[in-house]
Structure 1
Amino acid sequence: MDEQERTRVGARLLEDAQGLGLSLDRRQTDALVEYLAQLSRWNRTYNLTAIREVEAMRVQHILDCLAIVPLLRQLLPAQATLLDVGSGGGLPGVVLAVMEPGWVVTCVDAVEKKMAFVRQVSGVLRLPNLKAQHARVETLAIEPVDVVISRAFASLDDFAALAGRHVREDGTLAAMKGREPGDEITALLAHGEWRVAAIHPLLVPGLDAQRCLLLMERTHAGA
């Protein structure tokens, strides 16, 4: 992106973030614009995402991930740990790390080139709270975290089975989905270990599609 396009993208991000109840400072705006530039540049060679146009990336990737920030802020303290499973090019992990410097965000993906990209982004954006691990989630060795989150990673049941062990005893599994996945919720509940604590519809500016965030907790949580 040239400087003119960066300015346009930054202005649109500021405006749409306000519609999500978010106020972006200069550091956050510049970081998100640079992330888009890096994603666009790397995508030409490494196919990090099927979306090619910067404006489409801005809406379908950045705004989609920004939409969950107010909900996670209600759930988490200023200092927290998060694991982004099946992160791909760092979504939503990079966006969360930009928005909350006190959140330590670890992105994990089975594709090494995608984690190489996230490590590059961590350096370019100067995000010491953003980490990347090349691994399959079922073999990952990591201390339990406050929230394990996924974006279009797997069914709720598979997500819980593969990633649930990485959640602290009183922590949360968070799944970004399209429309409310009734069949997946039924399958999850049938196993009895996890339950859906809340389903939050998401209104993403410029995106004509249903989106929601599901928050899950262990069935014995708080018992």
Structure 2
Amino acid sequence: MEQGLWLQETVKPWGIHLDETQLKQFDQYFHLLVETNKVMNLTGITEEREVYVKHFYDSLTLMLQLGEKGRSALRMIDVGTGAGFPGIPLKIANPDWKVVLLDSSRKRIQFLEQIAGELGLQNVTCIHGRAEDFAHQKEYRQMFDLATARAVAKLNVIAEYCLPFVKVGGSFIAMKGSAVDEEVVEAKRALHVLGKNQVEVQKLTLPDEMGSRHLVNLTKRDHTPKAYPRKAGTPVKQPIV
């Protein structure tokens, strides 16, 4: 629990107060992640300190962008969630949030269902599928206060996947590693087309010199046109520029 106590103290100034139950949930998550990773490729990071810094701490940095909004019972979708980052750590820290985890890998979704069950997490829905399909379904389209993605794709691409899920007035926060200035400029038209989004970028440095991060917070000010997202594969091949 040493790393859990470290996490508890580190995020306390952000207004996140992790109790003993939540620390146990992070500990369970770590052990299930490492064990499952032996038979399924979930993460290249398995050393405990690194998992706590690069996965758990990193995921919780979104609370810095949300501020007071993060104190309410948000409805969140994590697109391309993979092994559950940032969705599961955010759910552990905010038990009253309603969280949807979306991924195109059935095996990863089965792992996340196991995590939610064993950690006793309520109001977690794990969905196997593609954002391009689910973002056009009535029960998901523009229904979320917050969408997140640890973005591998460029901002103009990942924004097309995620912004259709966000209600007007809500936020999409893209978690990026490298510098994002060029991407933000390149995505200017896409961010306007997809909902006249207001952009705020926050740079963070992980503890122990484990790297830098950028949170790109897009506040949605208008509805996303019905044409978006386009069919599977199109946003990558023909990004909005």
Establish whether TM, by shorter chain, passes 0.5.
yes
In structure 1, distance between residues paired with 2:114 and 2:160: 30
Q: Output aligned runs, 1:3-82, within 5 Å.
A: 7-18=1-12, 22-82=16-76
1:90-105 correspondence runs (5 A): 90-105=84-99
2:185 aligned partner: 186
2:147 aligned with 1:126 = no
**Shift of residue 208, structure 1, vs aligned partner:** 3.2
Distance 1:169 1:20, change over 3 A: closer
CA, structure 1 residues 105+207, in 2 after alignment: closer, same or farther (shift >3 Å)?
farther
- Following the alignment from structure 1 to structure 2, what is the Cα–Cα distance between the partners of residues 186 and 149? 20
Which range moved further: 135-144 or 190-199?
Answer: 190-199
Code of the aligned partner of 1:101: P
**2:216: which partner in 1?**
214
1:169 Cα offset (Å) = 2.1
Task: Kindly tell me the number of residue pairs found equivalent between the two proteins.
Answer: 215
Secondary structure at the aligned position of 1:198 is classed as: strand
1 CA distance for matches of 2:203 and 2:131? 27
| Structure 2 residue matching 1:65: 3-state secondary structure | helix
Distance 2:161 2:221 in 1: 17
Higher mean C-alpha deviation, range 195-204 or range 169-178: 195-204
After TM superposition, the structure 1 stretch with the greater mean CA deviation from structure 2, 72-81 or 124-133, is 72-81
Residue deviations 1:92-123, cap 9 Å, x none? 00011111112101110101111111110110
Q: Is the contact between residue 118 and residue 131 of structure 1 (CA under 8 Å) also seen in structure 2?
A: no
Equivalent residue runs for 1:134-149 within 5 Å: 134-140=128-134, 141=137, 142-143=139-140, 144-149=143-148
Q: Secondary structure at the match of 1:147?
A: strand
SS at match of 2:56: helix
Does 111-120 or 176-185 show the bigger shift?
Answer: 176-185
| TM superposition shift of 1:178 | 1.8
Q: What's the counterpart of residue 3 of structure 1?
A: none
Give the Cα–Cα distance (whole angstroms) in 2 for the partners of residues 213 and 74 of structure 1: 17
Contact 1:188 1:195 in 2 (8 A): no
SS in 1 for 2:121: coil
Deviations 1:171-202 (A, max 9, x none): 21110112441121112112332434311222
Q: Determine if the alignment matches structure 1 residue 198 to structure 2 residue 200.
A: yes
Tell whether the 8 Å contact from 1:68 to 1:202 is kept in structure 2 after alignment.
no
For 1:162, the equivalent position in structure 2 comes to 161
Computed over aligned residues only, the root mean square deviation of the Cα atoms, in angstroms, reads 2.0
Which runs of 5 or more residues in structure 1 are unaligned? Answer: 1-6
Q: Give the 3-state SS of the residue equivalent to 1:14 in structure 2.
A: helix
Change (3 A) 1:163 1:71: closer
Matched-pair contact (CA < 8 Å) for 2:147–2:171: yes
Q: Give the partner amino acid of 1:217.
A: T
Shift of 1:20: 5.2
What's 1:4 paired with?
none
Counterpart AA for 1:166: F
Report if aligned partners of 1:200, 1:214 keep a CA contact under 8 Å in 2: yes
Q: TM-score, normalised by structure 1?
A: 0.87
